[in-house]
């Protein structure tokens, strides 16, 4: 019986190859898209899972209370882990881990900058690594360094790294006593090299009793069954007992952020863990399900569209003794055969597309072949899709009465088309929403990208500073200016794309006190505005020796409530300083936010970055070569590293750009599958109206009149879809845009444009099919039986 079903199913597929191809294509594309999204979701959800203590690892976060405003941050005090472990038995392991810094490693002539973490002894008990050489005890040796395999290779080539000496930060020597396998991409903890805190260094000795200032992260693992909220309170009590008076940390609270939430729930608002990437993950899970649903709907549509053809077979089988159940089984078998084929094709497609998809997402996405769930899910998708998509056609077809379908030619009535029309309308609603969303995402991106950020990122290059460049900075600057390629040079404590730090300690003398004022700050020296091409609105730029000078941006002046800022005195960190200038607002943080208040403090003894403004007409390649050779002359012990400000600025759009690209892809797929569905519906409607078309032709209808007649029926579906989709899209995008304080106003014209686009696409689809019917010789269609 099953064999007979499969034979019929197979022959049906082969005989109606164009139908089968359309149907399989829709299903395969839908499934492939769903599978890609699910693979991405899987990758996101398996972050950090390689750690053995995944379930019991926590990152200590502090909700700091700045006069009522809660700021959540990871910075913690150095002695906390040791004290916590000693005080509370439920804390199994605890370690201090630095935020990660760039460290210069020198081996002979080779100078490389690598990302380094500095940590304490429990580190390897909390996080899991594969040791290729050495073992976890390396952490107890202050003169040892742990390298990842690729760092070891880049420093020592193919030779053995174990036991070799490497110079760190041009300062001290360390011995490679462990090499670990490269850290998986899905790990929050990332490093090229790992260095222990040196317990005998004066800094660490001083930090042992520093319970107020924080500069590191603290991670811990708990014993199973620990009451986490209670432990959070106990830890805060511990901190309070070690500090005199209160400070923002003791006024606030602590959060033990579990490892399972590090990746996807990374945002905090008002001291609560609110979400983060999970929003996008959930959004795309929905998109995956919707695309699969669209593909299934399509499948149902196309299968029922062929009911006229199958009706006769149903009739015959019933007269031969088949019950309805057997016919149901037969049609469902057919649809499962199709969906299994589609799953196989889709898996192949996913395999082919995965490298491109990984590149697009900039994430290593792989197929977890070893995971039995994968195979279960694949089989599940095949079965569920087959059942779901096959059930409606199966019930519809198997319900035919043999007496009716065998008597002459059978044609479904208008009413039968209704559920299919609803399905196609639903598909169009989803597509219109997706297309509108895509439009608006791109508008927002474009809007933010072309925003006036208060300075120019074009032809602005940022080079890492070193103590060697600081020592002979004037000579270096002169050499640079003398190349003729360079207009201006300036130094800052952070690149122009990043604000160095935030402080709540700035007090303007003789101005209304504003309690919650948090100002971003940055250290810099002369030629700040000239180099960044920022606009001075009042006063002047820094001059040489302005050691007590300070420049604010307009936003900061506004928030401080200063009427005549120039010459006014502000106090910061116990020092009185004079405001020498005011600059127009600069967007150095998120381009989606309104301009943050900023303070520039004069500092000519040290810096982290050298900003170089290249002449408009200078050749970039030659200029960079010149800068490099001058840098090497003055700073031979440090690697030359640079970045272009516009590249750095564009980094800020990465997530949104990705969302934009993904929505283009999925909106496109949605429309495509939708059109396949419309195509199916049109062809079955035309089949039904063949005779009518013939009669009208005989009566003298022109091609245009017939096309209009046939299109009308479907264009109003698109119109209904449009009316439902627009408010939905408007509401959804409005909510998305609320994430950004600098945002585009959603214009009604976007929706008209989308509507027009969909109309054209729908018209094309309909007329592709209708033209053929309208051109058919009526003699053929009107011939009686």
Which one, 320 or 509, has the nearer CB to another protein? Answer: 320
C-alpha closest to that of 117 among 171, 181, 195: 195
C-alpha closest to that of 73 among 252, 225, 227: 252
User: Two tokens at 110?
Assistant: 């080779």
Name the segment binding another protein (CB under 8 A); options: 4-12, 381-389, 689-697, 715-723. 4-12
Describe the chain by its helix, strand, coil percentages, rounded to 5.
50, 20, 30
Q: Give the contacts of 474 (CB within 8 A, at least 6 positions apart).
A: none
Tally Cβ neighbours within 10 Å of residue 618.
17
Strand partners of residue 118: 195
Distance from C-alpha of 577 to C-alpha of 571, rounded to nearest angstrom: 6
Closest distance to another protein from the beta carbon of 411 (Å): 16
Size of the site for another protein (CB under 8 A): 23
Name the segment binding another protein (CB under 8 A); options: 81-89, 148-156, 311-319, 545-553. 311-319
Does position 629 interact with another protein (CB under 8 A)? The reply is: no
* Dihedral (Cα; 296, 297, 300, 305), 10-degree rounding: -140
C-alpha closest to that of 444 among 78, 742, 141, 33: 742
Site string for another protein, 499-528 (x = CB under 8 A): ------------------------------
Does position 17 interact with another protein (CB under 8 A)? The reply is: no
Scanning residues 385 to 424, which ones bind another protein (CB under 8 A)? 402-403, 406-407
Task: Quickly tell me which residue has 């620990």 as its tokens.
Answer: 226
Closest distance to another protein from the beta carbon of 9 (Å): 9
User: Two tokens at 163?
Assistant: 């036991």
Q: In 190-259, which ranges are continuous DSSP H helix? A: 202-207, 228-242, 248-251
Distance from C-alpha of 693 to C-alpha of 686, rounded to nearest angstrom: 8
Closest distance to another protein from the beta carbon of 375 (Å): 32
* β-strand pairing of 144-148 with 69-73: unpaired
Name the segment binding another protein (CB under 8 A); options: 1-9, 34-42, 378-386, 668-676. 1-9
Does position 7 interact with another protein (CB under 8 A)? The reply is: yes
Binding residue (CB under 8 A) for another protein from 59, 217, 263, 317: 317
Which one, 245 or 321, has the nearer CB to another protein? Answer: 321
Does position 712 interact with another protein (CB under 8 A)? The reply is: no
Binding residue (CB under 8 A) for another protein from 196, 315, 393, 495: 315
197-224: buried (b, 16+ CB within 10 Å) or exposed (e) per residue? beeeeeebeebeeebeebebbbbbbbee
Does position 11 interact with another protein (CB under 8 A)? The reply is: yes
Which one, 12 or 462, has the nearer CB to another protein? Answer: 12
Binding residue (CB under 8 A) for another protein from 203, 243, 319, 594: 319
SS3 488: strand
Task: Quickly tell me which residue has 């003699």 as its tokens.
Answer: 779
Q: Give the contacts of 783 (CB within 8 A, at least 6 positions apart).
A: none
Does position 12 interact with another protein (CB under 8 A)? The reply is: yes
Tally Cβ neighbours within 10 Å of residue 9.
18
Binding residue (CB under 8 A) for another protein from 320, 513, 573, 745: 320
Closest distance to another protein from the beta carbon of 334 (Å): 11
Closest distance to another protein from the beta carbon of 408 (Å): 9
Does position 325 interact with another protein (CB under 8 A)? The reply is: no
Does position 313 interact with another protein (CB under 8 A)? The reply is: yes
Does position 322 interact with another protein (CB under 8 A)? The reply is: yes
Distance from C-alpha of 557 to C-alpha of 506, rounded to nearest angstrom: 12
Distance from C-alpha of 52 to C-alpha of 60, rounded to nearest angstrom: 19
Name the segment binding another protein (CB under 8 A); options: 2-10, 285-293, 481-489, 559-567. 2-10
Which one, 12 or 51, has the nearer CB to another protein? Answer: 12
Q: Is 112 left (phi over 0), alpha (psi -120 to 50) or beta?
A: beta
Which one, 327 or 674, has the nearer CB to another protein? Answer: 327
Closest distance to another protein from the beta carbon of 407 (Å): 8
Which one, 383 or 406, has the nearer CB to another protein? Answer: 406
Does position 326 interact with another protein (CB under 8 A)? The reply is: yes
Binding residue (CB under 8 A) for another protein from 163, 199, 323, 484: 323
SS3 508: strand
CA–chain centroid gap for 666, Å, is 15
Closest distance to another protein from the beta carbon of 8 (Å): 5
Binding residue (CB under 8 A) for another protein from 55, 86, 205, 316: 316
Closest distance to another protein from the beta carbon of 10 (Å): 9
Distance from C-alpha of 674 to C-alpha of 426, rounded to nearest angstrom: 9
Closest distance to another protein from the beta carbon of 308 (Å): 13
Distance from C-alpha of 300 to C-alpha of 390, rounded to nearest angstrom: 6
Closest distance to another protein from the beta carbon of 17 (Å): 13
Rg (CA), the chain: 34
Does position 687 interact with another protein (CB under 8 A)? The reply is: no
Scanning residues 52 to 91, which ones bind another protein (CB under 8 A)? none
Distance from C-alpha of 482 to C-alpha of 749, rounded to nearest angstrom: 53
Closest distance to another protein from the beta carbon of 2 (Å): 10
Which one, 405 or 460, has the nearer CB to another protein? Answer: 405
Q: Which residues contribute to the site for another protein (CB under 8 A)?
A: 1, 4, 7-8, 11-12, 15, 312-313, 315-323, 326, 402-403, 406-407
């Amino acid at each position: 019986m099953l064999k007979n079903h499969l034979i019929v199913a197979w022959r049906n597929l082969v005989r109606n190859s164009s139908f089968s191809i359309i149907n399989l294509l829709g299903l395969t594309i839908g499934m492939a898209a769903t599978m890609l999204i699910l693979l991405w979701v899987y990758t996101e959800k398996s972050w950090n899972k390689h750690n053995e203590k995944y379930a019991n690892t926590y990152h200590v976060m502090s909700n700091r209370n700045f006069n009522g405003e809660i700021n959540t941050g990871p910075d913690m005090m150095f002695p906390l882990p040791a004290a916590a472990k000693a005080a509370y038995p439920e804390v199994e392991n605890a370690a201090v881990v630095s935020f990660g810094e760039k460290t210069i490693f020198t081996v002979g002539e080779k100078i490389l900058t690598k990302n380094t973490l500095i940590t304490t002894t429990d580190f390897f008990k909390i996080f899991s690594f594969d040791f290729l050489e050495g073992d976890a005890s390396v952490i107890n040796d202050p003169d040892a360094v742990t390298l990842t395999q690729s760092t070891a290779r880049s420093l020592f080539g193919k030779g053995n790294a174990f036991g070799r000496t490497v110079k760190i930060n041009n300062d001290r020597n360390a011995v490679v006593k462990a090499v670990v396998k490269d850290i998986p991409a899905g790990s929050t903890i990332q490093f090229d090299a790992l260095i222990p805190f040196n317990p005998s260094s004066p800094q660490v000795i001083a930090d042992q009793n520093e319970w107020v200032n924080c500069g590191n992260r603290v991670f811990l693992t708990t014993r199973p069954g620990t009451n986490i909220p209670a432990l959070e309170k106990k830890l805060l009590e511990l901190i309070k007992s070690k500090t005199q008076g209160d400070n923002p940390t003791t006024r606030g609270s602590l959060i033990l952020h579990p490892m399972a939430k590090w990746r996807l729930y990374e945002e905090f608002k008002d001291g609560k863990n609110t979400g983060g990437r999970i929003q996008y993950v959930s959004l795309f899970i929905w998109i995956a399900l919707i695309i699969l649903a669209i593909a299934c709907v399509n499948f149902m549509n196309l299968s029922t569209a062929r009911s006229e053809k199958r009706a006769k077979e149903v009739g015959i089988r019933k007269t031969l003794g088949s019950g309805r159940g057997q016919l149901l089984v037969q049609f469902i078998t057919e649809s499962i055969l199709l969906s299994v084929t589609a799953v196989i094709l889709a898996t192949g497609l996913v395999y082919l597309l995965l490298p491109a998809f990984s590149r697009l997402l900039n994430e290593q996405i792989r197929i977890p072949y070893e995971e039995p769930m994968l195979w279960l899910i694949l089989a599940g998708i095949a079965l569920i899709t087959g059942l779901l998509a096959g059930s409606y056609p199966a019930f519809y077809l198997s319900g035919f009465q043999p007496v009716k379908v065998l008597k002459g030619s059978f044609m479904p009535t208008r009413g039968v088309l209704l559920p299919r029309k609803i399905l196609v309308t639903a598909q169009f609603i989803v597509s219109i929403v997706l297309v509108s969303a895509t439009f608006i995402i791109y508008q927002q991106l474009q809007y933010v990208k072309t925003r006036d950020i208060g300075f120019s990122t074009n032809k602005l290059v940022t080079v890492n500073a070193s103590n060697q460049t600081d020592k002979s900075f004037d000579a270096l600057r002169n050499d640079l200016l003398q190349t003729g390629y360079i207009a201006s040079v300036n130094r800052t404590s952070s690149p122009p794309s990043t604000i160095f730090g935030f402080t709540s300690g700035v007090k303007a003398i003789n101005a209304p006190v504003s309690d919650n004022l948090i100002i971003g700050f940055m250290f810099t020296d002369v030629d700040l505005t000239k180099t960044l091409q920022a606009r001075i609105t009042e006063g002047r730029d820094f001059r040489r020796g302005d050691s007590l000078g300070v420049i604010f941006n307009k936003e900061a002046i506004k928030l401080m409530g200063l009427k005549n800022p120039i010459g006014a005195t502000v106090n910061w960190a116990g020092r009185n300083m004079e405001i020498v200038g005011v600059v127009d607002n600069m967007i150095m943080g998120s381009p989606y936010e309104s301009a943050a208040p900023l303070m520039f403090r004069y500092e000519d003894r040290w810096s982290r970055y050298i900003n170089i403004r290249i002449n408009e007409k200078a050749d970039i390649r030659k200029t960079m070569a010149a800068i490099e050779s001058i840098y090497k002359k003055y700073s031979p012990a440090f690697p030359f590293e640079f970045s272009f400000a516009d590249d750095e600025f564009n980094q800020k759009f990465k997530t949104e750009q990705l969302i934009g690209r993904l929505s283009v892809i999925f909106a496109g797929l949605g429309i495509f599958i939708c059109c396949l569905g419309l195509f199916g519906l049109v062809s079955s409607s035309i089949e039904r109206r063949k005779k009518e078309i013939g009669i009208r032709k005989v009566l003298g209808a022109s091609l245009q009149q017939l096309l209009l007649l046939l299109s009308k029926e479907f264009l109003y579906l698109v119109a209904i879809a449009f009316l439902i989709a627009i408010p939905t899209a408007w509401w959804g995008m409005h909510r998305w845009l609320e994430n950004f304080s600098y945002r585009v106003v959603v214009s009604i014209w976007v929706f008209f444009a989308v509507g027009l686009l969909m109309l054209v696409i729908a018209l094309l689809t309909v007329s592709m099919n209708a033209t053929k019917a309208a051109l058919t010789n009526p003699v053929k269609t009107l011939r009686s039986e």
